[in-house]
């Protein structure tokens, strides 16, 4: 199996979220914590062609992504700055880069079958609603009955379970019987700190800490299982003393790798 670098993307701002979409795009959320500004970018997933970049909404920082459905991004604001509670729904069309609708009264739950399920908060509790996902127009009022909402959400979770994602898992060398991994870890002395691994075909992906003359670095390696040959090695973070998880994942035949917290590198994995 071959691994090929397809593209790299960075604005030298911290990448907070990487969201592949069902329509072959990837949404990137960047944040400048000093300026307190959030930026949103959209790339063609396979080759990295920029669809839009540095997009900002009226609210420049206290805003985030609830989810992406078809080619629409659903954003939320916050009830109060520095507070985790979400407020409102903003629907933005990826292709036109325009806001389709916004409502500050509803709070996002999930989307299913072109319907947006949400709720309103009242002093005495919550009321649940269904909106048209394209217009935000109410379709149904469930009142305070969450049982039907829960049933629908459970069904959606099962239907939408992604089977083309591979996420790294913690590796415990004391419990592993994998001779390739044990050999690589022991011989190269990279067992300091936590270790994450994943497999794709005949490739092994390894992420851990490595001791160097200058200190400690976060490293990522791709190893050819039949031969034990290292076919890719990247320094994810230089001179860092703690393990940073969630630095890579695989979707379909693409490897998404986050470097230095601000750079996305995408590789294709092919036979």
Q: Per the structure block, which two tokens stand in for 167?
A: 């996420």
Q: Is there a single domain that holds both residue 27 and residue 131? A: yes
Q: Is there a single domain that holds both residue 36 and residue 119? A: yes
What DSSP letter does each residue of 158-182 carry, written as one string? Answer: HHT--SSEE--EE--TTT---HHHH
Q: Is there a single domain that holds both residue 207 and residue 193? A: yes
* 140 strand-pairing partners: 130
Give residue 161's pLDDT: 52
Give residue 191's pLDDT: 45
CATH number of 145's domain: 2.40.128.630
- For residue 188, what is the enclosing H or E element? helix 179-188
Q: Is there a single domain that holds both residue 6 and residue 128? A: yes
Q: Is there a single domain that holds both residue 25 and residue 55? A: yes
Q: Per the structure block, which two tokens stand in for 55?
A: 């997009």
What's the pLDDT tens digit per position in 190-234?
545 578 889 999 999 988 877 666 667 788 999 988 888 889 999
183 within some domain: yes
Give residue 81's pLDDT: 81
Residue 200 and residue 225: Cα distance in Å, rounded? Answer: 10
CB-CB contact of 97 with 113 (8 Å): no
Q: Is there a single domain that holds both residue 99 and residue 151? A: yes
Tally of helices (H runs) and strands (E runs) in the chain? 2, 22
What whole-number percentage of the chain has pLDDT above 90? 59
Q: Per the structure block, which two tokens stand in for 76?
A: 């939320």
261 within some domain: no
Average pLDDT, the chain: 87
Give residue 114's pLDDT: 92
What's the pLDDT tens digit per position in 237-249?
876 665 566 799 9
Residue 269 and residue 4: Cα distance in Å, rounded? Answer: 7
Q: What is the DSSP letter of 141?
A: E
Ramachandran angles phi, psi of 185, nearest 5°: -70, -45
179 within some domain: yes
Q: Is there a single domain that holds both residue 148 and residue 210? A: no
User: How many structural domains is the chain composed of?
Assistant: 2
15 within some domain: yes
pTM, two decimals, is 0.88
Residue 208 and residue 191: Cα distance in Å, rounded? Answer: 7
- CB neighbourhood size of 28 (10 A): 20
Q: Per the structure block, which two tokens stand in for 239?
A: 């001179």
- Top pLDDT among 73 and 212 is at 73
**R_g (Cα) of the chain, nearest Å:** 21
Residue 116 and residue 126: Cα distance in Å, rounded? Answer: 16
What DSSP letter does each residue of 6-67 carry, written as one string? Answer: EEEEE-SSEEEEEEE-TTSEEEEEEEETTTTEEEEEEEETTT--EEEEEE--SSSSSEEEEE
Residue 148 and residue 154: Cα distance in Å, rounded? Answer: 10
Q: Is there a single domain that holds both residue 91 and residue 217? A: no
Q: Is there a single domain that holds both residue 98 and residue 215? A: no
Q: Is there a single domain that holds both residue 11 and residue 132? A: yes
CB-CB contact of 122 with 141 (8 Å): no
Q: Is there a single domain that holds both residue 101 and residue 208? A: no
Q: Is there a single domain that holds both residue 31 and residue 153? A: yes
Task: Select from 37, 36, 17 the least CA-distant residue to 27.
Answer: 17
Structural domain range at position 241: 165-251
């Amino acid at each position: 199996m071959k691994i090929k670098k397809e593209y790299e993307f960075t604005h030298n701002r911290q990448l907070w979220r990487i969201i592949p979409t069902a329509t072959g795009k990837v949404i990137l959320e960047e944040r400048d914590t000093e300026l307190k500004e959030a930026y949103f970018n959209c790339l063609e997933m396979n080759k990295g062609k920029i669809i839009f970049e540095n997009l900002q909404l009226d609210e420049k920082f206290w805003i985030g992504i609830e989810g992406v459905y078809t080619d629409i991004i659903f954003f939320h604001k916050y009830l109060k700055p520095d507070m985790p509670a979400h407020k409102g729904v903003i629907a933005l069309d990826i292709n036109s880069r325009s806001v389709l609708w916004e409502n500050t009264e509803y709070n996002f739950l999930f989307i299913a079958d072109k319907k947006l399920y949400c709720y309103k908060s009242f002093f005495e509790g919550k009321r649940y609603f269904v909106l048209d996902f394209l217009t935000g127009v109410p379709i149904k009022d469930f009142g305070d009955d969450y049982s039907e909402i829960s049933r629908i959400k459970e069904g959606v979770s099962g239907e939408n379970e992604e089977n083309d994602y591979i996420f790294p898992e913690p590796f415990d060398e004391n419990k592993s019987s994998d001779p390739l991994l044990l050999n690589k870890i022991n011989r190269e002395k990279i067992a300091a700190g936590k270790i994450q691994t994943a497999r794709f075909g005949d490739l092994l992906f390894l992420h851990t800490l490595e001791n160097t003359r200058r200190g400690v670095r976060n490293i990522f390696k791709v190893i050819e299982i039949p031969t034990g040959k290292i076919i890719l090695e990247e320094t994810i973070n230089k001179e860092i003393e703690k393990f940073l998880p969630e630095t890579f994942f695989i979707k379909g035949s693409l490897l998404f790798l986050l470097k230095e917290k601000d750079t996305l590198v995408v590789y294709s994995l092919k036979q």
